[in-house]
């Protein structure tokens, strides 16, 4: 049975802690590395499998006319990683927005700096509160998102007078199997869970058996948005909100570690 070290030191505050990282595969690595650097044992299991769209032609066509837009919005880190042109070239004069620090970090890693993020909540509502998206009458806006994304953002911007296009640059799927994850929960290798979407929570819940679900309910779940926390609590999970991005999750992990009583 996994147990936490009673001898944590300042530079290894997560020593002995098994931390489940559920970010999509392309984003899980950096967070896992930071957890390991703090002494934790990251367990990577993407709650959402991210795939390219079945038809890449609409995205390619839009890349060819990016210069026509005034504003581009990437709704997630996945939208950034799958939606930014492979050439890395971004037209001058197209302002870029993202709903939170994680998405902004992904865009910066792809060479797009100066991304504007909300000052209130890290979501569509927060984006809509930004001054640059308040008076958009006559502006051309493109939204990069996944298949079946929320319509709130596009509808609100159209009501404000903008001409809005959107393009699906990725699609989401459930994990095919969770046998290894269920075993890790049952043998108490997982001490704390990090989740970054309500969909991810639902995906994990659907593929776990009853004993693994009960084991998940017995540990802390950290999530960077109140809406995700609310969904987790509906399933009986002991969920706590953190700030956004990897930095917010890491801060939440450190706070959890400082107050956590090791399992025996």
Q: Please report the pLDDT score of residue 260 as a whole number.
A: 76
Residue 255 has pLDDT above 50, yes or no: yes
3-state SS assignment for residue 202: helix
Query: In this structure, is the dihedral angle defined by the CA atoms of residues 204, 196, 164 and 111, taken in order, positive or negative?
Result: negative
Residue 218 has pLDDT above 80, yes or no: yes
Tally the C-alpha atoms within 13 A of residue 153's C-alpha that lie toward its C-beta: 28
CA-CA distance, 33 to 70, in Å (whole number)? 37
3-state SS assignment for residue 238: strand
User: Where does the pLDDT of residue 9 fall: very low under 50, low under 70, confident under 90, or very high at 90 and above?
Assistant: low
CA-CA distance, 252 to 194, in Å (whole number)? 9
Phi, psi of 132 (to 5 degrees): -70, -15
Residue 263 has pLDDT above 70, yes or no: no
User: Where does the pLDDT of residue 119 fall: very low under 50, low under 70, confident under 90, or very high at 90 and above?
Assistant: confident
What proportion of the chain, given as a percentage, has pLDDT over 90?
69
Beta carbons of 21 and 194 less than 8 angstroms apart: yes
User: Where does the pLDDT of residue 64 fall: very low under 50, low under 70, confident under 90, or very high at 90 and above?
Assistant: very high
CA-CA distance, 148 to 172, in Å (whole number)? 9
Beta carbons within 8 Å of 88's beta carbon, 6+ residues apart: 110, 111
User: Where does the pLDDT of residue 196 fall: very low under 50, low under 70, confident under 90, or very high at 90 and above?
Assistant: very high
User: Where does the pLDDT of residue 177 fall: very low under 50, low under 70, confident under 90, or very high at 90 and above?
Assistant: confident
What domains are defined for the chain? Answer: 18-48+175-259 (3.40.50.10090), 51-172 (3.40.50.10090)
Matching residue, tokens 């590395």: 33
Mean residue pLDDT across the chain? 90
Measure CA 160 to chain center.
Answer: 28
What's the rounded mean pLDDT across residues 49-65? 92
Q: Which residue has the higher pLDDT, 120 or 104?
A: 104
Q: Provide the phi-psi class of 133: left if phi over 0, else alpha when psi is between -120 and 50, else beta.
A: alpha
What proportion of the chain, given as a percentage, has pLDDT over 70?
94
- Cβ atoms within 10 Å, residue 81: 20
CA-CA distance, 8 to 16, in Å (whole number)? 8
User: Where does the pLDDT of residue 262 fall: very low under 50, low under 70, confident under 90, or very high at 90 and above?
Assistant: low
What's the rounded mean pLDDT across residues 84-94? 89
Residue 168 has pLDDT above 90, yes or no: yes
Tally the C-alpha atoms within 13 A of residue 122's C-alpha that lie toward its C-beta: 21
Give me the helix-helix angle, 210-217 and 179-186, nearest 10°.
50
Residue 7 has pLDDT above 90, yes or no: no
Q: Which residue has the higher pLDDT, 102 or 14?
A: 14
Residue 3 has pLDDT above 50, yes or no: no
């Amino acid at each position: 049975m996994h147990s936490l070290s009673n001898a944590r030191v300042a530079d290894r505050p997560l020593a002995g802690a098994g931390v489940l990282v559920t970010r999509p595969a392309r984003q899980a690595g950096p967070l896992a590395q930071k957890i390991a650097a703090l002494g934790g044992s990251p367990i990577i299991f993407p709650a959402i499998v991210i795939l390219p769209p079945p038809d890449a032609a609409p995205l390619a066509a839009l890349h060819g006319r990016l210069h026509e837009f005034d504003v581009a919005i990437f709704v997630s880190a996945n939208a950034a990683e799958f939606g930014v042109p492979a050439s890395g070239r971004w037209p001058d004069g197209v302002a870029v927005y993202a709903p939170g620090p994680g998405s902004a970090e992904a865009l910066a890693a792809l060479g797009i700096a100066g991304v504007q993020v909300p000052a209130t909540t890290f979501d569509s509502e927060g984006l809509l509160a930004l001054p640059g998206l308040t008076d958009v009458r006559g502006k051309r806006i493109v939204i990069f998102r996944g298949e079946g994304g929320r319509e709130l953002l596009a509808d609100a911007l159209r009501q404000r007078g903008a001409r809005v296009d959107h393009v699906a640059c990725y699609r989401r799927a459930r994990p095919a199997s969770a046998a290894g994850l269920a075993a890790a929960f049952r043998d108490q290798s997982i001490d704390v869970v990090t989740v970054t979407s309500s969909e991810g929570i639902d995906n994990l819940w659907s593929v776990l058996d009853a004993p693994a679900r009960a084991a998940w309910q017995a540990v802390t779940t950290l999530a960077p948005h109140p809406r995700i926390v609310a969904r987790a609590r509906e399933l009986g999970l002991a969920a706590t909100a953190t700030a956004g991005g990897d930095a917010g999750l890491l801060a939440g992990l450190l706070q959890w570690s400082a107050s956590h009583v090791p399992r025996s």
